[in-house]
Structure 1
Amino acid sequence: MVLYPSDPADGRVRVVVVEDDNANRLFFADYLTFTGFEVLALPHGLDLEQQLKAFQPQLLLLDLGLPEIDGYTLLKQIRSSPVWRHLPVVVVSGYAFAEDQHRALALGAQRYLVKPVPLQQLTQTVYAVLQLPQSRDCP
């Protein structure tokens, strides 16, 4: 199991969701919480590095089409940070073009999911990226 930067005391994996659409943000956060993750859901990427420092996540789910600062810029900032450069990032975006996918993966995203994302695919992706064993009871 690969967790970064530290294992939480209660054993729950921490995930940050950065999604500007309220319905999607709440949906992802509620579902991931239901499946056993501790979730911090943010409507934008402003001050993301400070939020990461305070929450200490093991994974970031990142939308690309964000207000003020887009997901590509955030991904560049994360990969240039000495502290967060190895944080796994899964892009969850409505941008379905191959060019967008290639760009995000070239910037360091581990996976790219196109909305709408089936919940089973989201869960399987999170487990795979974090190298967590998925129990048969998991949705």
Structure 2
Amino acid sequence: MARILVAEDDADIRDFLAVVLTGAGHEVTPVADGAEVLTRLAFPPPSMVLIDLHMPGLSGLDALKQIRTVPAWGKVPVVFLTASGATDDMVRARTLGAQGYLVKPIRSADLLAKIRVVLEDRSLIWLDDITQSRSA
């Protein structure tokens, strides 16, 4: 079981993610924007952050930039879940220190598989993410 902080501005998607993740035995803290991610990272720190790229206010990329400036949060894996399959966005996320990038819509099984890989081994093969987004 992992503690997963889920940041998604669309309430329906946020609820769907919470149902899938809690059904798989994870503890989920849902938030609606990047700013809320920063307030929820402190206590207790999550096992990982699943975050949308484009959100009002503080974007997922901007939140990741701030996460990586705090030493205590530096090792928290961050995976993006977004509608943007643009290679440039994937490269920016990886450059900023994200461990994964999933393009919506995503099947529950694929989401759970990616989370398992990230939690077990934080080094991901990003080519898989890029290839899958282009073939979707």
1:33 aligned onto 2:28: no
Please give the secondary structure, in 1, of the residue aligned with 2:62.
helix
Greater share of residues in helix: 2
Please give the secondary structure, in 2, of the residue aligned with 1:109.
coil
Alignment correspondent of 2:85: 96
Which runs of 4 or more aligned residues in structure 1 lie more than 4 Å from their structure 2 counterparts after TM superposition?
none
Normalised TM-score (structure 1): 0.83
Please give the secondary structure, in 2, of the residue aligned with 1:27.
helix
Q: Equivalents in 1 of 2:49, 2:99: separation in Å?
A: 10
In the TM superposition, what are the counterparts of 1:15-94 in structure 2 within 5 Å?
15-94=4-83
Is the 8 Å Cα contact of residues 40 and 55 (structure 1) preserved in structure 2?
no
Is the 8 Å Cα contact of residues 19 and 42 (structure 1) preserved in structure 2?
yes
Percent identity between the two aligned chains: 38
Root-mean-square deviation (CA), in Å?
A: 1.2
Normalised TM-score (structure 2): 0.85
Stretches of structure 1 lacking an aligned partner (at least 5 in a row): 1-11, 133-139
Q: Equivalents in 2 of 1:47, 1:97: separation in Å?
A: 25
Stretches of structure 2 lacking an aligned partner (at least 5 in a row): 122-136
Alignment coverage as a number of residue pairs: 121
